[in-house]
Amino acid sequence: MLVTGGAASGKSAVILVLGDSLSAEYGLPRETGWVRLLADRLASEAAQYSVVNASISGETTSGGRTRLPKLLDEHRPAVVVLQLGANDGLRGLPPTSMRENLAAMSEASRKAGARVLLVGMRIPPNYGREYAERFAGVFAQLARDGKLALVPFLLDGFADDLAYFQSDRIHPNERAQPRMLENVWPTLAPLLRAKSR
C-alpha cells in the first residue's frame, strides 16, 4: 500500500484510492502509476492532502466492498476514489452485482464523512454489445442516482491505441499514466476544494 504526503503525521487530509491493477502499477516501474503522479501533483501544488493507494491487482467490486470498512476506519479519508469494476466485467459477472457493490461502497464512504469519486470503465466489444452497454451504464446510472462525481472512462482518449498499452494489450504502460491522471483530475479537483458533508 502506497502512502504519500503527510498521512503518517496526521497533518493532511487523505485521498483513499481503492482500485485494481489499473491503479496498482501492474507491470510498471515502482512509483510511476497515475496514483503516484497524483500524489506528486498535490505535493507540487502544496495541497494539504496525502494519498493512500489501497489498490490490488485482480480486485473486484466484491473484494473492494469487503476491504473498505477497515480502510475507512484506519485512514479516515476525506475523499474516496472508487476505481473498480474492470475485473467484474472481464469475468462476466452480473452488472447488477457490480452496481450493488459500488453503491454500498459509496454509501459507506459517505457515512464515514468522505466525498466519493467514481471512476468508470468499459470492456472490450468481444463481450457482446448488450453486456458491454449494461456494464458501462452502471457507472453513469450510479453517479446519477447517487449524485456522485464521475470520471466516465479512465482510459478515455487512448483506449484503442496500442502504443499506450503493455504487451498484454490490457494494462496501460508508463506512457499512459499521465493521460489517466489528466482524465481523473478535472473531476477530482473540485472535490478537494469542497467541504465534507
Give the C-alpha distances (Å, rounded to integers) separating 58 from 21, 23, 25, 44, 172. Answer: 6, 11, 12, 31, 15
Spatial distance between the Cα atoms of 128 and 152, rounded to a whole number of angstroms: 20
Contact between 109 and 72 (Cβ < 8 Å): yes
Beta-carbon contacts of residue 135 (< 8 Å; ≥ 6 apart): 85, 88, 89, 95, 98, 121, 122, 123, 127
Q: How many CA atoms lie within 13 A of 108 on its CB side?
A: 19
21, 50, 55, 106: which is the annotated catalytic residue?
21
CA 129 to chain centre: 24
Is 21 annotated as catalytic? yes
CA 28 to chain centre: 17
9, 73, 160, 168: which is the annotated catalytic residue?
168
What's the farthest any 2 CA atoms get from each other in the chain? Answer: 49
Q: What positions carry a catalytic annotation?
A: 21, 168, 171
